[in-house]
Amino acid sequence: MNQPTTFDFSFPNGRLRIRVLTAQIVRLRWTASEFAPRRSWAVTRPDEEFAALPVQRGEDAETIWLDTGAFRLIIAKADGRLRCVDANGRTFCADAIAPDPAQAVQWIRKQEPGECFYGFGERSGCTLERSGRRWVNWTRDPAHPHGPDVDPMYIAIPVYLAVRPGLAYGIYFNNTFQSEFDLQHELVCFEAKDGELDCYLFYGPRPAQVLQGLSEVLGRMAPPPRWALGYHQSRWSYGDADEVRHLALEFRARRIPCDVIHLDIDHMDGYRDFTWDKQNFPNPKGLLAQLRAWGFRVVTIVDAGVKIDEHYSVFRHGMERNVFIRQANGELAHGYVWPDDAAFCDYLRPEVRAWWAERVRQWAQTGVAGMWCDMNEPVIFDRPFSQGGGGIGTLPLDAQQGTPRERTTHAEGHNLFGLGMARATWEGLAAARPDETPFVLTRSAFAGIQRWSAAWMGDNDSWWEHLEMSLPQLMNMGLSGVPFVGVDIGGFGNNASPELFARWMQIGALYPFCRGHSSAGTQPHEPWAFGPEVEAICRAALELRYQLLPYLQGLFNEASQTGAPVFRPLLYEFPDDPVTYSLHDEVMLGPALLAAPILRPGQQARAVYLPEGEWIDWWSGEVLRGGQHILAQAPLARMPLYQRADQALPLGPLVQYTDELGG
């Protein structure tokens, strides 16, 4: 077995271990006693899979230095304080004070002049650059509807990217307990409730190289099935088989491209996972086969809570196999969700993931094409749903998880619950259809989720502010290593205006994961629900997406090979241009296409920044010089869109669903 190049140091304040995994990836660990062994549920690639590298070592009176070939680490002999230096002598990722692991799981680092920070997983707010705030890494269902200051949210990814002209680096804080990044005081402080000071440092010097290194450690997605890149239509809920058939026929009759229909919780029998409501869906196999013949796949929701009901075979079998999380006293850990009292699987245990995967494999035999994992923070209501309960809590933090050999508490396993559920679901679909990459969608996740699932950002609202927020949210998710992401087009809660829905669909058609979804109690939000003008705008936007499918497939192939985001901030392509550092309202789809959506009601024009080079107006064909702001006209039917003149952009034929492409 390989052994990466390792250096151990002892100081009065603790022990430091440095492992040079590649010339651009270094793992840094501090402990006051012994380094913790690797856990079976670790999301990182084992260190032993990296080969030993030649690393130059030197020292002077006060420091020891290690040269990886790409950058240099300098360690103070007195206390282990670290700083990194690039080939041009520029300092980055330098300790403000030396860590003291006996006192706190905390690392405090300097923020260099001109340095900007991105990533941090799923966050609220309409800013791209994330300094000046404190960000908590803890999966939870936030208050809904939520404003710009809510934190934390559904997805916890303790990753950041730091950029300044000519230099970029990233950090992954390898700790699954509740943690936080505090960037409020011109410092970068990250700390956790428990666990170990364990970080991976990824050096660029360009953002693309940082993301490539991050994906080497956290893993890369497999290219999704082509149908999953089409448009998805969803609602809470399409209540019976006739309504679903009518929906499908409307798409085809109106010639609006669509590949996937999602079924929310009301397809179930009393919100029991892996069941059908026999009255409203009396012949599910027949329904799914009919939809498949019309070119539609069906994705069904599955919730984290398994209804406690002795007459329910999934719960009964789960109890027999002891798959559910238990409290510290050994009793079943449970709580109220949609089916009322429910139990929760311990996905830290491989045998439990295998048990869940078998349920999924059997479910897929009905013809279900993909699975949608929800409520998997996990969230627990304050009282039964039948009595008006809502999501305010989670499982007891001292609940027991893991195998006897790796016993831990929910405090350590909580952030991993959604990832474990998504992974087990992916593995079940892979067993059902070994020749096709599974499609899984998840609401909650942790670092590395890209290996197992697409992610959407949960319950947004039909507000212009949430349309605007979607851009920095999705761009920063991409910079956190998760390329296959989206938000509910049109907004989940409340009622979209025709103008808002049209503007949202124009940019939503370019989201990596493209789905319209709306809540129970809202007005219809299908593309034709807002009148003929908006219907035509939605049709044109989705036709553009389907023509771009060859390009999108290429971007997802690139993501599977390098970890590159699909939905990119301009700084990813132009990291030496500080004008791009705060641009939250423009986005690159891959390297070739720049979109500048309209994010305000009544707006018919907007300023657009075009970086260096030449750009082609998508609509007029006019060639424009970059390195300047322009005023772009944007009538309701048109979103400003530009192609980079030196980048090829393959287009495909116009189709109504991806099966029409053949192959």
Q: Annotated catalytic sites, by residue?
A: 374, 377, 459
CA 386 – CA 567 distance, rounded (Å): 40
Residue 74 tokens, joined: 């300098």
Sheet holding 614-617, edge to edge: 567-568, 587-589, 593-595, 641-644, 614-617, 623-625
Question: Rg for the chain (alpha carbons), in Å?
Answer: 25
Q: Angle CA(85)–CA(88)–CA(94) in degrees, nearest 5?
A: 20
Determine the length of the chain: 663
Residue 64 belongs to what H/E stretch? strand 63-67
CA 486 – CA 510 distance, rounded (Å): 9
User: Which residues partner with 595 through β-bridges?
Assistant: 587, 641
Q: How far is CA 651 from CA 264, 357, 541, 603, in A?
A: 33, 37, 14, 30
**Sign of the CA dihedral 427, 431, 434, 439?**
negative
Select from 312, 364, 372 the least CA-distant residue to 342: 312
Select from 326, 347, 349 the least CA-distant residue to 406: 349
CA 103 – CA 480 distance, rounded (Å): 29
Using CB atoms within 10 A of its CB, is residue 503 exposed (0-12), middle (13-18) or buried (19+)?
A: buried
CA 405 – CA 351 distance, rounded (Å): 14
Residues 6+ apart with CB under 8 A from 279: none
CA 500 – CA 78 distance, rounded (Å): 59
Report the C-alpha dihedral over residues 395, 398, 399, 405, rounded to 10 degrees: 140
SS3 229: helix
Residue 322: CB atoms within 10 A of its CB come to: 12
At how many degrees (to 10) do helices 464-479 and 498-508 cross? 10
* 308, 341 contact by CB (below 8 A): yes
Q: How far is CA 510 from CA 129, 198, 334, 542, in A?
A: 22, 37, 40, 9
Select from 7, 4, 3 the least CA-distant residue to 65: 7
SS3 200: strand
Parallel, antiparallel or unpaired: strands 56-59 and 25-31: unpaired
645 phi, psi to nearest 5 deg? -65, -30
